Chains A and B, each alone.
Chain A
Amino acid sequence: GAGVSQSPRYKVAKRGQDVALRCDPISGHVSLFWYQQALGQGPEFLTYFQNEAQLDKSGLPSDRFFAERPEGSVSTLKIQRTQQEDSAVYLCASSPTGTPSSNQPQHFGDGTRLSIL
Chain B
Amino acid sequence: SQQGEEDPQALSIQEGENATMNCSYKTSINNLQWYRQNSGRGLVHLILIRSNEREKHSGRLRVTLDTSKKSSSLLITASRAADTASYFCATAHIYNFGNEKLTFGTGTRLTIIP
Contacts and interface: CB of A to CB of B under 8 A. Distances in A.
A57 to B, nearest CB: 12
A109 B43 CA distance: 8
A102 B99 CA distance: 10
A111 B43 CA distance: 9
Interface residues of B, number: 30
Contacts of A107: 45
Given A56-B101, A91-B43, A110-B41, A41 B106 contact: yes
Contacts of A6: 42
A43 B103 CA distance: 8
Interface residues of A, number: 29
B30 interface: yes
Interface string A13-52: 0000000000000000000010100001111110010100
A26 B29 CA distance: 26
Contact of A110 (B42, B90, B92, B104): B42
A103 B48 contact: yes
A43 B43 contact: yes
Interface of A: 4, 6, 33, 35, 40-45, 48, 50, 55-56, 91, 93, 98-100, 102-103, 105-111, 113
